[in-house]
Structure 1
Amino acid sequence: MGSGETARVSCVPAVPCWVSLMARDLEEAKGFYGPLLGWEFEAVPEHFGPYVHAVTGGEAVAGLGAAGGNWPMPVAWTSYFGTESADAAADAVRERGATLAVGPLASDAGRVAFAADPAGAVFGIWEGPLGRARRLDLMGAPVWIELRTPDPFAAALFYGEVFRWDGRDPERFEVHWEHDRVVLRAEGHSVAALAKEQAGGPAGTAPHWEVSFSVADTDRALVLAERLGGSALGPAFDSPYGRVARLQDPEGGRFAVISPKG
Structure 2
Amino acid sequence: MVFRDERWPDGTPSWVDLMVPDQAKAVAFYSGLFGWDVRTGGEETGFYGMAELRGRPVAGIGQTPPGQEMPALWTTYLSVSDVDKTVAAITEAGGQVLMPVMDVMKEGRMAVAADPAGAVFGRGEAGNHIGTQVTAAPGTLAWNECMSRDYPAAKAFYEQVFGFGFEDLSNDDFTYAVLLVDGRPVGGLGALPASVPAAVPSNWSTYFSVADADASAAKVAELGGQVLDQPFDSPYGRQVRVQDDQGVPFLVIAPNEQSGKPEGWEE
TM-score, normalised to structure 2, is 0.83
C-alpha distance in structure 2 between counterparts of 1:188 and 1:54, whole Å = 30
Residue 263 of structure 2 corresponds to which residue in structure 1?
none
Letter in 2 for 1:244: Q
Superposed counterparts of 1:200-215, under 5 Å: 204-215=199-210
C-alpha distance in structure 1 between counterparts of 2:195 and 2:216, whole Å = 20
Change beyond 3 A, Cα 1:68–1:103: closer
Change beyond 3 A, Cα 1:134–1:19: same
Aligned mate of 1:243, from 229, 238, 242? 238
* Deviations, residues 106-158 of structure 1 (Å, cap 9, x unaligned): 11321111101111100001111496986541211111111111343431220
C-alpha distance in structure 1 between counterparts of 2:50 and 2:29, whole Å = 15
C-alpha distance in structure 2 between counterparts of 1:190 and 1:72, whole Å = 34
Change beyond 3 A, Cα 1:68–1:48: same
Residue 265 of structure 2 corresponds to which residue in structure 1?
none
Q: By how many angstroms is 1:98 displaced? A: 1.5
Superposed counterparts of 1:34-113, under 5 Å: 34-44=31-41, 47=44, 49-68=46-65, 70-108=67-105, 109-113=107-111
2:125 matches 1:127: yes
2:169 matches 1:178: yes
* Deviations, residues 221-262 of structure 1 (Å, cap 9, x unaligned): 111101101111222222332111111111111111111321
C-alpha distance in structure 2 between counterparts of 1:118 and 1:23, whole Å = 25
TM-score, normalised to structure 1, is 0.84
Q: By how many angstroms is 1:105 displaced? A: 0.7
Q: Percent identity?
A: 36
2:229 matches 1:234: yes
Change beyond 3 A, Cα 1:42–1:186: farther
**Contact 1:238–1:244 under 8 Å retained in 2:** yes
Change beyond 3 A, Cα 1:51–1:152: same
Q: By how many angstroms is 1:11 displaced? A: 4.2
Q: By how many angstroms is 1:10 displaced? A: 4.0
Change beyond 3 A, Cα 1:39–1:120: same
**Contact 1:114–1:122 under 8 Å retained in 2:** yes
Change beyond 3 A, Cα 1:202–1:9: farther
C-alpha distance in structure 1 between counterparts of 2:47 and 2:117, whole Å = 31
Letter in 2 for 1:216: A
**Contact 2:75–2:121 under 8 Å retained in 1:** yes
Superposition RMSD on alpha carbons, in Å? 2.7
How many pairs were matched up? 248
Residue 191 of structure 2 corresponds to which residue in structure 1?
196
5+ residue gaps, structure 1: 1-6, 166-173
The SS at the match of 2:193 is coil
Aligned mate of 2:114, from 113, 116, 126? 116
Residue 140 of structure 1 corresponds to which residue in structure 2?
139
Residue 151 of structure 2 corresponds to which residue in structure 1?
152
